[in-house]
Amino acid sequence: MKKAIILLYFFSSYQLVAQTNKLVLPGKTYNFEIKDGTNRSGRLDSVTAEYYYFYNPAMGPDRIRKMGVSKIKEIQLAKDGTFANPHYSRYLFGPSALPQAKGEVYFNNLDFEYNTIQVGVTENLSVGVGGLLLTSLFSGNAVLLPNFKYAIKINEQSHIALGGLFLFLSGKSFGSNESAALPFMVYTYGNAERNISVGAGWAHAGRGDWAPKPTGYVAGMKRFARNWVFQGEAYLLSNNTDNTIYIATFRNVRPTSSWDFGVTRVKSGTVSFAIPLIGYTLKF
C-alpha cells in the first residue's frame, strides 16, 4: 500500500501533459497559454488530476484548471514576476555577446525570405544556419549562411563573444560554388532587457583576399514596456561611411516568441534605399 501511495504521488507531480507531450516538473517555471488567448505564468508547485498549482512572484499563489490550458512552455521569470525577454542573444540580424542558453532552439523568419535556426549547444557555444528561401527556390541557387558564436562572461554586466558568419552560394547562375566568411568579435554591456554592443568583423572571400578594412558594428536594445523592445543596429562596411547598413525595429515579445517591425536603410556610394522589415521568432 505504501509503494502504491508513493507511485501515485510521483505520477501526480511528474506527469506527461497530453496537450503538449511535455513533462512538467514542480520547481520549474512555465507559461500557461489559456484557451481564451490569455497567458499566466509561474513556478509550478504541484499538479492534481484537475489543476496546476503555481506561484508567480507578482501575483502570489495561483491555479489553473487543466482543461482550460492549450499550451505549456518552460520560461524564465524576472524578479518582479514578468516574463524574461525570450530573444536576447541576437538583435534582428547581428549577435550580442550574451550567450544563448544550452538546449534553447530558435526559429526566425524575416520578410518570408530569410530563415534561420539557432541552437544552444553548450552554455557558451551556439550554432545556426540561415538561408534565402525564395531566392534559392526561384533562382536554382542554394544560398546558405551558417554561423557560430562562443560567448564568455566577464561579469554580470559584461560579455565578450567570438564567432563567424559564412556564406555559401551554389548553383548554375554562379558558374561554380562561391563562399565568403566574416569572423567577428563583439562586446556587450548590460543584460537581456537592456544592453549595448560594439564589435568588428573582417570579411574574406573564399577565393579572394581580405577586405581592405574591417567592418564596424554597433547595436543595442531596451525593453520599454512589458511586451515591447526597441533595438537598433549599424554596420560600417569596410569602415566606410559611404557603405552603411542601419536597422531599427520594434520587437513585440511574448514568453516564447516575438515579432519584429522595422526598416533597414542601405547606402552604397551614391545609391541609398530602404526596406521594410517584418520578422517572427519562435523559441522551442
Q: What is the pLDDT of residues 1-57, one digit of tens each?
A: 444 444 444 444 444 443 444 578 888 888 898 988 888 888 899 999 899 999 988
Q: In the chain, which segments carry CATH 2.30.30.100?
A: 2-74
Mean pLDDT of 254-281: 93
- Tell me if residue 133 falls in helix, strand or coil: helix
Confidence class of residue 176 from pLDDT cuts 50, 70 and 90? low
Tell me if the domain spanning 2-74 has CATH number 2.30.30.100.
Answer: yes
Q: Which of 14-23, 103-112, 114-123 has the lowest mean pLDDT?
A: 14-23
Provide the CATH topology of domain 105-283.
Porin (2.40.160)
Tens of pLDDT, residues 192-237:
999 999 999 999 886 778 888 999 999 999 999 988 999 999 999 8
- E-state strands within 214-269: 215-225, 228-236, 243-253, 257-268
Q: What percent of the chain has pLDDT over 90?
A: 52
DSSP state at residue 18: T
User: How does the average pLDDT of the chain come out, rounded?
Assistant: 86
Q: In the chain, which segments carry CATH 2.40.160.40?
A: 105-283
Mean pLDDT of 68-86: 81
Neighbour tally for 118: CB within 10 Å? 24
44: nearest Cα among 22, 58, 27: 27
Asked whether the predicted pLDDT for residue 140 surpasses 80, the reply is: no
123: nearest Cα among 92, 76, 89: 89
